[in-house]
Amino acid sequence: MDNLVQLLNEAANNIFQSHFAAMIELLKDPVRSSQVMYSKRIIGEATLDVMEEPVSDEMTLDDKKESLLATIEEDVSNNYRKLKEFGKFLTSSNEFKEMGEKILREYAQYISEKDKQLLPQESIERITNMASEILRDNYEALSLSIDEPFQLASLLDPQLNEKILGKVELYRSSLAVSIGIILKAVRSAVHESSEHLELLVSALRKFEKTVPIADTIFKEYIRRDPEQDSKKEVDCYNETLSYGMQSVTSTGCGGRIYLPPGTNEKFTKMRIDFGATFFQVRREIEKKKLDPEELKLLLRDCLPDYKSQFSDKNFKSIFDILELVKEKCSLVNIHCLKTIVKIFKIKKAMVIIKKYEEQVDVFCEAMTIDLCLDQKFEVVRRPQPLLCEKLTFILNWEPQDYSLKDVMDVLTKCTSDSSINVQITCMIDTIGKSNSIAVDCYIPMSQAGYVVAIVFQKVKHAQVKALSRLIWRNVLVWDKHTTTSDEDIDKVVEQEKERAKQMKDVTEEDIKKDIEEEKAGKIYIYEAGIQLNSPLAWQCENALGQLSQDHHEVHLFYSSSKIAQLIIMNLHTKRSVTKLGIYRTPISDECATFLADALAENKIQELHELTLFLTPMSESSLNIILQSLQENSTLNHFYIRDTSISRSVSRNTETLLAAFLEKNTTLTKVYLYAITLSEDFLPILFDMVARSKAHLTLDRENKEAVATFPGYGSIMDRIHFSM
């Protein structure tokens, strides 16, 4: 048997090796391919870690291709059945389908019959952590959904042990690299604790494009959570629910506080009352036959932090929308539902809600804090909120002496806003000999700055006497037992106001972005190359990934300097590209430096023609490019026309122009439109042209001065003027 396995391993390895060279040519994006292979369990995590590292001199894109295929080859040589898995993976991609079919045919011809004689082998790497399995199952879809990696990294950075924001900022111009950095850090964090998967879901729900994958991940997480039975929430249509005896561990003393008999029954009754209320109100709303789009518009205005989820196309019906509203409600707060009923004037529903609010008042007055330990006030299970949304009040109270209503009154007094989403937790704290109550408030990011500024103003004027400490984003920002100056408080208030302003600016930018996305981003792939009209970053990544050896031209129109920079960086690995054109797109000094670096070091190895047409740039940017052309040995044609540079350039620019014409031996055509040269520089220029092979096209403003120059006749066949 062992000899047969060895023979089959060798046969599989031979098949793989016969296609190795062709696969190297076809494999355009090893990072993207490795993410899909990881999701399909073709490769392991160690290989994916290497692939998701940024490209460097030590690990180029070609190195990554060879490393990825070498790893698969090694797996195939040790387990021939891996070849079949790999072949199936290839057939799922249009790019690799033909090769995958060849591999599967050869597998069937040389291996399948003999394979039947052997016992099945375990060929799929499994991960014991349930959350890690869910992340891996959805890894491919997740990598495709993320289109705002920097914003996502800024939310996740405080939650992860591995700080990622700086790395993503460093590689911000490359979408694929930025996504790889984030996903690698998330994988590591989820391996350590499944709670990090919930935090990922919370972050993903902040962006419209990632809402669907976030919901998919969380639904699967709830379904497979082994502790789900103890966390399950009552459904609107359930009439009975049994909880049994529960206990909670105190954080300070390490002992247990047992809830007295009857406590769970009171919470169970409250949950059922909520379910019945929501059911009746839902029925009245559906009778009203509201326009779902109008209802979503209202909720986007009322709940800006849920904007992305309400924009999800899956929320088409009133029922779907109200399910999300239910998530926003808690046992003691149905303000969102009440707002809908009030705005659309649904009178019967208002009566039902008023009756429930009376029940809530009675419940809050009757329930002392120690009876609320470890009880969930949410009615639909939600992923853990992000750290940047957490505000904790430490109240100097004995838990058994105060009711839930007392806590709610303090929060209302502190915030002047009863609609804040509050999760109540209690702990035994060691301030002197007394206990204290910790109240965690999770505030939507869009409201956080506003709320925190209000709280600090209240604290500053000593309007909340019960407050002992205030913790914002897990940092102690105020302590009753230490001296906190008015200046310190004012500083935090100003910081939060500025943060709130930034959040508002981001919201406005998001709206502008939504409008732009509707009309921008036209990509045309034709026989000779690709044309990109106002593309987004992710569209550039995808389009450039589709370039084959037959595509020789890349042309960018009506875009930004950042996008131009992104394309230049990506072209380092596209050896078939011989023409690059950038049209009506500004060129910043940073972008010019990237381009100059590529030209000086001949990084775009086959680039023969460069066109910069109506690309606004500073004279310093032009000089950076001219300087690099002295060292370039690939360009044959260089075209530049820019309306932002003054027609009369400085002597420094003229000197650089002459120097590159003298030193560059490959340029045969140089077009300099909209640039007027000084008369005393023309003899120097003509001398350079006479000694080179280049044809020079100048702006027509130079024609009169050039025509009178004595040496013009000898080089007139190589001096041209724009029309």
The span from the CA of 325 to the CA of 340, in Å, is 10
- The mean predicted confidence, pLDDT, of the chain is 75
For 333, list phi and psi in degrees, rounded to 5: -150, 105
The span from the CA of 184 to the CA of 45, in Å, is 9
User: Is the CB of residue 177 less than 8 Å from the CB of residue 55?
Assistant: yes
Asked whether the predicted pLDDT for residue 637 surpasses 70, the reply is yes
Q: At what angle do helices 404-415 and 347-366 cross, to 10 degrees?
A: 110
pLDDT of residue 698: 80
For tokens 């109100």, the residue is 281
The span from the CA of 488 to the CA of 616, in Å, is 46
Return the closest-CA partner of residue 709 out of 642, 665, 653, 698: 698
Output the CATH code of domain 387-502: 3.30.70
Q: Are strands 529-533 and 553-557 parallel, antiparallel or unpaired?
A: parallel
For 558, list phi and psi in degrees, rounded to 5: 50, 60
The three-class DSSP label of residue 698 is strand
* Neighbouring-strand partners of residue 472: 391, 475
- The type of residue at 564 is A
* Neighbouring-strand partners of residue 698: 672, 721
Apex CA 507: angle with CA 503 and CA 508, to 5°? 120
| Top-confidence residue, 512 or 679 | 679
Tell me the two tokens of residue 242.
């049994």
| Top-confidence residue, 711 or 111 | 111
Asked whether the predicted pLDDT for residue 338 surpasses 70, the reply is yes
Report how far apart, in Å, the C-alpha atoms of 498 and of each of 69, 157, 201 are. Answer: 50, 20, 27
Element containing residue 106 per DSSP (H, E): helix 97-107
Element containing residue 639 per DSSP (H, E): strand 637-641
* Neighbouring-strand partners of residue 672: 640, 698
| Top-confidence residue, 226 or 72 | 72
> What number of CA atoms fall less than 13 Å from residue 199's CA on the CB side?
23
* Neighbouring-strand partners of residue 611: 581, 639
The span from the CA of 587 to the CA of 562, in Å, is 9
Q: Are strands 553-557 and 579-583 parallel, antiparallel or unpaired?
A: parallel
Q: At what angle do helices 130-137 and 175-192 cross, to 10 degrees?
A: 160
Tell me the two tokens of residue 127.
């991960």
Q: How confident is the model at residue 313 (pLDDT cuts 50, 70, 90)?
A: low
How many whole angstroms from its chain centre is CA 575?
29
Tell me the two tokens of residue 267.
């919470």
pLDDT of residue 418: 43
- The residue-averaged pLDDT of 79-108 equals 88
Residues 121-170 have pLDDT tens digits of: 544 444 457 889 999 999 988 988 888 888 888 888 877 767 788 788 77
Tell me the two tokens of residue 43.
């490769």
Return the closest-CA partner of residue 685 out of 658, 723, 648, 653: 658
Phi-psi region of 514 (alpha: psi -120 to 50; beta: other; left: phi over 0): alpha
Q: At what angle do helices 175-192 and 30-39 cross, to 10 degrees?
A: 30
User: Is the CB of residue 309 less than 8 Å from the CB of residue 315?
Assistant: yes
Tell me the two tokens of residue 325.
């509203």
The span from the CA of 157 to the CA of 131, in Å, is 19
The residue extents of the domains of the chain are 2-115, 130-231, 247-371, 387-502, 520-721
Give the number of other Cβ atoms within 10 Å of residue 40's Cβ: 18
- The residue-averaged pLDDT of 62-81 equals 88
For tokens 């000898």, the residue is 714
Q: Which range, 245-249, 412-416, 540-544, 603-607, has the best average confidence (pLDDT)?
A: 540-544
Element containing residue 447 per DSSP (H, E): helix 445-460
pLDDT of residue 262: 43
pLDDT of residue 468: 78
For 15, list phi and psi in degrees, rounded to 5: -60, -45
* Neighbouring-strand partners of residue 395: 437, 467
The span from the CA of 290 to the CA of 299, in Å, is 13
Q: How confident is the model at residue 352 (pLDDT cuts 50, 70, 90)?
A: very high
Output the CATH code of domain 520-721: 3.80.10.10
pLDDT of residue 40: 86
Burial class of 621 by CB neighbour count within 10 A (0 to 12, 13 to 18, 19+): buried
Count of residues in the chain: 723
* pTM listed for this prediction: 0.55
Percent of the chain with pLDDT over 90: 6
For tokens 């000084």, the residue is 678
First to last CA, the chain: 81
| Top-confidence residue, 119 or 161 | 161
Contacts of 548 (CB under 8 A, 6+ apart): 576
For tokens 């779907």, the residue is 320
- The type of residue at 255 is G
